[in-house]
A and B are shown apart, each in its own frame.
Chain A
Amino acid sequence: MIEFKKVNFWYGEEDEPEVGNEEVLREVDLEIPQGKFMVLLGRNGSGKSTLAKHTNGLLLPKSGEVIVDGMNTGDEESIWEIRRRVGLVFQNPDNQIIATTVEEDVAFGPENLGLPREEILARVEEALNLVGMAEYRNKEPHLLSGGQKQRVAIAGVLAMHPEYLILDEATSMLDPEGREELMKVIINLRERIAVFHITHNVEEATEADEVLIMDEGRIVARGKPREIFSQVEKIEEWGLELPQVVETALLIKKQFPSLFEVLPLSPGELVQELCL
Chain B
Amino acid sequence: MSAILSVRDLTVRFGGVTAVDGVGFAVEAGTLLGLIGPNGAGKTTVMRAITGIVSPGEGTVELAGRRITGLPTHARVRLGLGLSQQLVRPFRGMTLIENVAFAAGHALTRGALGAFAAVGRSKQRARARELLELVGIAGRAEERPDAVPLGVLKRMEVARALALDPKVLLLDEPLAGLNSGEAATLADTVVALNARGLTIVLIEHNLSEVMRICGRLVVLDNGRVIGEGAPREVMADRRVRAAYLGAEVGDAAA
Q: Do A and B actually bind? A: no
